[in-house]
Structure 1
Amino acid sequence: MMKTIQHYLIFCFLPTLFTACGVGDNLAMLPETDESGKLTVSFDLNGAGIRMDDATDTRANANVPLENLADGTLFSIRAYKKTYNDKGELTATIFADAGVYKVESGGKTANAYTSVTDAVLQLTRGIYDLYFLSYNSSTVYPGVTGDTETITGSTLADVTSKDVIATSMKDVQIQSDQDGQVTLTIPMDGAVFSHLCSRVKARLDIPRNQPVIVLGVSALKITMKPLYGTAGYNWQKGTLSTTGERNNSVDLIASGALSGIDSSTGAATLSSSDVYLFPLNDDVPLEFDVTMTIAYKTSSSGSQLSGDFKLSSPVALDKALLAAKSYCFVFTLTYYGELVPSDLTLDVTSYSPVNLPSDDVGADD
C-alpha cells in the first residue's frame, strides 16, 4: 500500500529588544553676544546616533554600541522657540522654523538637504526645543508642515519600508559668537534616536534527520495580519499613534525558495528581510497564512516527490508588537511520519540577540 506524507509546521515566536534608549534632554550652550541676526543651522553628530538591540539585561547593555546614522540618511526638524516674561517664567512655545537635513562625513555631520526647497533651518537668537524625525532612509523623509505628521502609504508595503526614528533636544540656546556670523553648528552629543516601530521578520527552519528528507521548498508565502497602515506622529510629544482601521496585511515572505538542500540531512533555513510595522496591542490576535510547495523523498520511495502545504486556517497568536522591539516568527517544518500534511503546532520562545557565548544565552546573572 502506498504511504502518504504528513508535513507538520511548528511555529516559534522569538521577541527581542532592539532598542530601549530614551530620548533625553540635551543642552547646546553657545557663547552669548549681542548679535541677534538669523543663523543658518548645521549639526555636529558626534555622540549622536541610534542604539540598536539595547536590552534590559546588564550583560547585554555592555555589548550594545551607539551606531552612527548612515551617510545619506535624511531627517526632518521642527524648531519651537520659547518666550519668557520679565521674571524668567516661560510664557509660550511657538513654532519657529523647519528643515530637512542629510547626514554626511561618515555620520559625523548633517547639513541642509539641497534637493528640497526651504530645507534650511534658520533661527534667530533665543532658546529653542528641537524635534527630529526620520525614516532612517536616504530616499524618503517626513513632512514638516504641521504639528502632527501623518505616516502612511497606498499599501502596507509602503509603510513597512519606513523605520521611524526620533529624538529631541530641549532648551537649546541659539546665539552667534562673532560679528557678522551667518552660520551655526549645533552639537548633538547625547541625542540618541529611538525606534518608534516594531521590527519584524519571518524564518522557515527545516531540521535535520527526519523520516522525510526535504530536497527543496518553492512558492513559500507567509502573510501576517491584521495590521495598521497609518499613524500620526506628534512632534512636540514625541509620540506615534495609529489611526484608521486595523485591516492591513503584509507578506513577510512573498515567494521564498530553498534549493540545493543537503540530501543526507535535509536541514536548511530561509529568512526574510526586516520589515517595520506600527506597534499593536494584543486585543486582536495576529494571524499568519502559510503556503509552500515541498520537494522531498522518503526511505520507502527513494525518489523525489512533490507536495503542496497550505494551512487549512490561519494560525492565531495573542501577542502585542511593541515599539523599539524585534520579533522573529519562526516556522519549523517537522515530519512525524510519512503522512499527508494536516497539522500546525505553535511554540513560543524568547531570546536576546547580544554577543554572548551560545551556552550563556538565557543564563542567570
Structure 2
Amino acid sequence: MLLAGCSAGDAVLPDAEPDPESGEPVTLTFDMYSASVTRTDAASTSEDMAIGKIFRIYAFPAGSTSLGTPLDSKNYTVQPSEADASKPGKATGSLTLYRGTYDLYLVSYNSSTEVPELDSSGAFTVSNGKDFMYTKLEGIVVQPDKTGDNTMLVSLPKPFTRMGAQMVTTVKARNSMQPVTPTALVVNYVKVSGLYGSFVYKLNKTSWETPTATTVADASYSFEKFDSNNTLEYDVTKERTSDPGVLLPVGGTQKMKFDVNLTVKYKDGSETKTSTDSYFATIEKALLPGMTYQFDFSLTFYGAIVPSDLTLAIREWTTSNLTGEDLGKD
C-alpha cells in the first residue's frame, strides 16, 4: 500500500482512490488484558499494565516485513476499570485507521511519562533502568463495532512481555554477634557494575539482538531510593529495601560487582563515631528476561567498622526463596 503524505495525527489515507467500503476512519480503544500471572512458572515473563501507565502503538499493513516506517503511531493511557476503579480497564488514545487488516505492535517502558521511540530500522535501543515491554496484535480486522459508528474496542489477548530483569536490593546488619556493634545504619546507594550499557530490540522479535563480540559490559546502575526504614533511627538488623530497578539481562559468566555505600554509627569506647564507606561483593549470576531478583546484603562489622565482611543471598521470584546468609560471600 502506498501512502500519501500525512501528519502523525491524520487517519491513514491510501494513495489511490479510497475503497467506497472503507467509510470513515475508525478510532481504536483497547480493553486491557487482566489475568493473574503465575509467579511460580519459570516461563512466565509477562506483566499486566497498571492504571496510568502509557504505551505506544505502531500500526502497519498486515504482513509487513519492513517495520521502520509505520502507517501511524499513537500513545495510549491505561484507565481505571468501570467495574472496579482499583484495577486497569480500557486504554484510551487517538489511533484512527480505515477499515482493513493491520498488524499492531504495542511497546512500553511501564511508565506514566515516556514511551519507546522506534528508529528508521524498526528497532529500539534500550538502556538499564528502562522497563521495556511489548505485545502485538497480528492480522487485526479494523471495522466499527456498530453500524454508523466510528469506534472499535479491541481486546488484548495476552499481557505485555517484560524484556528486562527486575531487581530489588536490601541491606541490613547481620543479626548475630558483631565484633563492633553498629548503632545506626543508612544506605546511601547500591551500585551494580559489569552491565551492558544498552540492548537493541527489533519489532516482531521475541528476544534482544545479540551484542557484538566487541561489546564491553562496562556500564553500571545505582539503586539510590530506599523505603522509609532507611533512617538512622531504624533497627540496624532490619532490612532497608530499595525501589525496584530493571536491568538488561546478564549472562551467567558475566561478573557483577556490587558497591554498597553506607553511613554507619558505632561505639568506640564511650565515644560514638560515624563512618561512610563502601562494601563490595562480586558474583557470577545470570539475570534473565522477565525474572525478578532480590539481592539481600547483610554485614558483619570489625575494628573501626572496617569493610571486611559482606554476605549476599539472592532470592528469585520463580524459585524457592533462599534463607541462608552465606551465598556469594566475597
Structure 2 length as normaliser, TM-score? 0.72
SS of aligned partner of 1:236: coil
Summarize the Cα distance change of 1:50–1:318 in structure 2 as closer, same or farther, 3 Å threshold.
farther
Q: 1:249 aligns with which of 220, 240, 255?
A: 220
Distance 1:280 1:50 in 2: 29
Worse-matched range after superposition: 242-251 or 320-329: 242-251
Q: C-alpha offsets along residues 34-83 of structure 1, whole Å, 9 cap, x if unaligned? A: 8323533322325x05855622279xx9xxxx975333221111223236
Q: Which residue of 1 aligns with 2:79?
A: 104
Q: Which residue of 2 aligns with 1:23?
A: none
SS of aligned partner of 1:108: strand
- Flag the structure with more relative contact order, 1 or 2, with Cα contacts below 8 A and sequence separation at least 6: 1
Summarize the Cα distance change of 1:284–1:208 in structure 2 as closer, same or farther, 3 Å threshold.
closer
Q: Which residue of 2 aligns with 1:282?
A: 252
Q: 2:174 aligns with which of 207, 210, 217?
A: 207
Summarize the Cα distance change of 1:219–1:331 in structure 2 as closer, same or farther, 3 Å threshold.
closer
Checking the alignment, whether the CA contact within 8 Å between 1:82 and 1:92 is kept in structure 2 is no
- What does 1:78-227 correspond to in 2, within 5 Å? 78-82=58-62, 95-106=70-81, 107-112=88-93, 120-144=94-118, 146-152=120-126, 159-160=128-129, 162-176=130-144, 180-188=148-156, 190-211=157-178, 212-218=180-186, 220-227=188-195
SS of aligned partner of 2:259: strand
Q: Percent identity?
A: 22
Q: Which residue of 2 aligns with 1:55?
A: 40
Distance 1:50 1:278 in 2: 26
Worse-matched range after superposition: 175-184 or 223-232: 175-184
Checking the alignment, whether the CA contact within 8 Å between 1:285 and 1:319 is kept in structure 2 is yes
Checking the alignment, whether the CA contact within 8 Å between 1:225 and 1:248 is kept in structure 2 is yes
1:344 aligns with 2:315: no
Q: 2:27 aligns with which of 41, 58, 63?
A: 41
Q: Letter of the aligned partner of 1:70 in structure 2? A: A
SS of aligned partner of 1:267: coil
**Which ranges in structure 2 are unaligned for 5 or more consecutive residues?**
1-19, 82-87, 324-330
1:172 offset after TM fit, Å?
1.5
Distance 2:243 2:146 in 1: 50
Summarize the Cα distance change of 1:51–1:285 in structure 2 as closer, same or farther, 3 Å threshold.
farther
Q: Letter of the aligned partner of 2:105 in structure 1? A: Y
1:233 aligns with 2:233: no
Distance 1:145 1:57 in 2: 32
Checking the alignment, whether the CA contact within 8 Å between 2:110 and 2:131 is kept in structure 1 is yes
Checking the alignment, whether the CA contact within 8 Å between 1:148 and 1:232 is kept in structure 2 is no
SS of aligned partner of 2:134: strand
Structure 1 length as normaliser, TM-score? 0.66
Summarize the Cα distance change of 1:39–1:219 in structure 2 as closer, same or farther, 3 Å threshold.
same
Q: Which residue of 2 aligns with 1:271?
A: 241
Summarize the Cα distance change of 1:144–1:209 in structure 2 as closer, same or farther, 3 Å threshold.
closer
Summarize the Cα distance change of 1:97–1:221 in structure 2 as closer, same or farther, 3 Å threshold.
closer
Checking the alignment, whether the CA contact within 8 Å between 1:78 and 1:235 is kept in structure 2 is no
Distance 1:240 1:271 in 2: 30
Worse-matched range after superposition: 167-176 or 191-200: 167-176
Q: Letter of the aligned partner of 2:232 in structure 1? A: S
**Which ranges in structure 1 are unaligned for 5 or more consecutive residues?**
1-33, 84-90, 113-119, 359-365
Summarize the Cα distance change of 1:53–1:309 in structure 2 as closer, same or farther, 3 Å threshold.
farther
Checking the alignment, whether the CA contact within 8 Å between 1:49 and 1:193 is kept in structure 2 is no
Checking the alignment, whether the CA contact within 8 Å between 2:27 and 2:96 is kept in structure 1 is yes
Summarize the Cα distance change of 1:170–1:213 in structure 2 as closer, same or farther, 3 Å threshold.
same
Distance 1:68 1:342 in 2: 41
The CA RMSD over aligned residues, in Å, is 3.7
Checking the alignment, whether the CA contact within 8 Å between 1:286 and 1:318 is kept in structure 2 is yes
Checking the alignment, whether the CA contact within 8 Å between 1:200 and 1:277 is kept in structure 2 is yes
1:325 aligns with 2:306: no
Distance 1:200 1:341 in 2: 27
Distance 1:51 1:141 in 2: 25
Distance 1:218 1:184 in 2: 53
1:297 offset after TM fit, Å?
2.9
- How many corresponding residue pairs? 289
SS of aligned partner of 2:254: coil
